[in-house]
Structure 1
Amino acid sequence: MVSKVAVVTGSNKGIGFAIVRGLCKRYDGIVYLTSRDVERGKKAVADLEKEGLNPKYHQLDITNKQSLEVFRDYIKNTYGGIDILVNNAAIAFKHDATEPASVQAKETLFVNYFSLVSTCETLFPVLNNGARVINLSSSCGQLGLIPSQSLRDQLKDEKLTVPELSKLMQQYVEAAKQGTHEPEWGNSSYVVSKVAVSALSVIQQRELNDRDIKVNAVHPGYVDTDMTSHKGPLTIDQGASAPLYLALDAPDTIKGKFVWHNSKLVDWDAEKPLSVI
């Protein structure tokens, strides 16, 4: 009997690590912890093994096309496909970062959006029918945080395609390079990247409906991690709660949605964003 497979990107620490822990405890299948750095990944696996859990490990750098293809081929040849894909890997500049907006925009969008698109383009062909995809967004991924009405209308357009969304994100990177981004896009590259993740999830669901694949975006909450400089009030296991709900417990009718950290559905494209927490 072919084993079911769950994959979590960027999961050697933080929320990703906690998602792997939760899957290992409850998922009736094989769970892959992946990381860019092999040593950190193997240490994370060893830490979970000390808890009596048994994740498998594979190197995966979502910013590297070859790494993605090697991983895809390994999964395809070993198991046939993926049943749960949690796209967790992301970066964020600190509030006091000294890098100029042009650098922050380019690097943040490269990892959080363009590399996510590349990951999905590479791995979606090996998703099994009935698979679940969970894209880690954020409270920052709410459309109402984008100042421009015109941009908001484009980003929530029901006919928006991935190439068109990518073109909009490239326009943002260019605007940041020119220093003209704030009036329309705001002053946070992280917000723009996570709004893009939320919009992408809606498009992906539309494109995958005929394969019975469920794609959702999730705000895991303000969690105590390196990314938040350990300012978040939630533990990593609390942050893993809503992603795990989508992976294991949500009814099949929940697809193309934006899920809050308490596992409730909210409108990602509401004009008035919900509180960050």
Structure 2
Amino acid sequence: MKTALITGANKSIGFEAAKQLLQQGYYVYLGSRDLQKGAGAVSQLQAEGLTSVEPIEIDVDSAESINAARVTLGQKTQVLDVLINNAGISGGLPQPSLETDISIYKEVFETNFFGAIAVTQAFLDLMKPAAEPRIVNVTSGLGSLTMQTTPTWKYFMVKPTAYVASKAALNAFTIVLAHELRDTAFKVNAVDPGYTATDFNHHSGPGTVPDAAARVVKAATLAQDGPTGQFYSDDNAPETGISPW
């Protein structure tokens, strides 16, 4: 049975991604900053008959928490097949570039960028023995520099500046990581789940959580001949699904 770890998975897209992976036969370690909330999410899944799941406490802002989660997971499995870096924050709105306090930039980058890197570094050794290891960095279409400089784009110059910058940085990390792992079995991709109605955006998005999670899960379950180093976004490129960086 393949295994997956999803950060920030006690609700919303992360929770739904866990559900869809469970339905495909994966054993899921449901990452949550608050273990009690993680346990509650697991109980919901188990009530639906999806029992191959357990909570893992992991706060991506804390090196101590990440290291503790790595120790815990290493006691439970010798191989991790899928890592989904899903945990993220918006930093609140609005975020004009010159008026947003530097502390907000630092807070958003700590979770959305540095957190994803720290988790990837901590769990990579557990993924190397996997036959088909997959890393999915959950990004945003707003992180596309190409689209943000295209005046005809429907989200042109949407300005949660700290958030946009953190996702652009995460995209850059994805490119480099995919290149460094290009001669291995790893597939490393960035996935924009789309403008989805969640509490992250006060349920303002037109997309649904199941559809958003399905995009993430598709990248997490790529076949051996699947692509790596791609930026998937139906919002940015509805015809091909591959967004420009």
Fold in common (TM above 0.5): yes
Q: Spell out the pairing of 1:181-192 with structure 2 (5 A cutoff).
A: 188-192=161-165
Secondary structure at the residue paired with 2:29? strand
- Mapped to 1, the partners of 2:125 and 2:57 lie a distance apart of 20
Query: Closer, same or farther in 2 for the Cα pair 1:265/1:255, shift >3 Å?
Result: farther
Aligned to 1:266: 242
> Which residue, out of 193, 211, 214, partners 1:241?
214
Aligned to 1:154: none
| CA displacement 1:51-110 (0-9 Å, x = unmatched) | 211221111111111211122122223211210111100000232479933122111111
Question: Offset at 1:146?
Answer: 6.0
Aligned to 1:112: 112
> Which residue, out of 161, 171, 186, partners 1:213?
186
Q: Percent same amino acid at aligned positions?
A: 31
**Contact preservation (8 Å) 1:198, 1:268:** no
Question: Offset at 1:46?
Answer: 1.1
RMSD over aligned Cα atoms:
2.2
- Mapped to 1, the partners of 2:239 and 2:10 lie a distance apart of 24
Secondary structure at the residue paired with 1:223? coil
Q: Which runs of 5+ in 2 are unaligned?
A: 150-158
User: Would you say 1:193 and 2:141 are equivalent positions?
Assistant: no
Bigger radius of gyration: 1
Aligned to 2:35: 38
Amino acid at match of 2:13: I
| CA displacement 1:186-216 (0-9 Å, x = unmatched) | 7611110111111111111111123310000
Q: Give the structure-2-normalised TM-score.
A: 0.85
Aligned to 1:140: 142
- Mapped to 1, the partners of 2:35 and 2:239 lie a distance apart of 32
- Mapped to 1, the partners of 2:44 and 2:76 lie a distance apart of 25
Query: Closer, same or farther in 2 for the Cα pair 1:108/1:263, shift >3 Å?
Result: farther
Secondary structure at the residue paired with 1:227? helix
Question: Offset at 1:264?
Answer: 4.1
Aligned to 2:200: 227
Aligned to 1:168: none
Aligned to 1:23: 21
Structure 1 stretch displaced more, 86-95 or 72-81: 72-81
Secondary structure at the residue paired with 1:211? coil
> Which residue, out of 81, 84, 90, partners 1:83?
81
Q: Which runs of 5+ in 1 are unaligned?
A: 148-185, 270-277
